[in-house]
Amino acid sequence: MQLLQPGLGLLFWTLLAFIVVFLILKKFAWKPILATLKEREEGIADSIATAEKVKVEMAQLKNENETLMHKAREERAAMIKEAKEASDKMIAEAKDKAKAEYDRIVADAQQTIQQQKNAVLTEVKNQVGALVVEVSEKILKKELSNKTEQEKLIKELAEGVKLNKN
C-alpha cells in the first residue's frame, strides 16, 4: 500500500520542482508563447479581415461586371438597331433609285414607241398618197384620152376652185 500513497518528501520535492519549472516557464517561455499565440491570433484576424475585404471587392467587381455586361448588351442592341436602320434606308434608297430608273426607261421606251408609230404612220400616209397618185394617174390617163372629157374635167375643176375660195 505504500506504493499507492506517496511520501510527504516526494510530494514536497515534486511540488517544489513543479513551481520552479512553472516560474522558469513563466519568466522565459510563457511570454514568447503568449506573444506567438497573440501574433497568430492577430494574423488569423487579419486574414479573416482581408478575406472579408476580398469578398466585398469580389462582390463589387461582380456588380461592376454585370453593369458592364448590361451596358455592352445595350450598346450591341443599339448598334444592331442602327445597322438595321441603315440597311433599311439603303434598301429604300435602292428601291427608289430602281423605280426612278424604271420610270425613266419606260418613259424613254414610250417616247421611242410614239416616234416609231409616227414614223410608221407617216410612211403609211406617204405610201397611200403615192398609191392614190398612181391610181389617179392611171384613171386620168384613161379618162383624159378623150378631148371632150378633158375639157369637161377642166371646167369642173375650175368651178370647184372658185367655190373653195368663197
Domain presence at residue 135: no
Domain presence at residue 166: no
Task: Give the per-residue pLDDT at 149.
Answer: 73
Domain presence at residue 25: yes
Residues of the chain whose pLDDT is less than 70?
1-4, 139-145, 160-166
Which domain range does residue 58 map to? 8-121
Domain presence at residue 136: no
Give me the percent of the chain exceeding a pLDDT of 70. 87
Q: How many domains does the chain have?
A: 1
Dist. CA 7–CA 10, nearest whole Å: 5
Dist. CA 5–CA 57, nearest whole Å: 66
Domain presence at residue 1: no
Task: Give the per-residue pLDDT at 142.
Answer: 64
Domain presence at residue 156: no
Instruction: Name the 3-class secondary structure at 123.
Output: helix
Dist. CA 44–CA 36, nearest whole Å: 12
Task: Give the per-residue pLDDT at 18.
Answer: 95
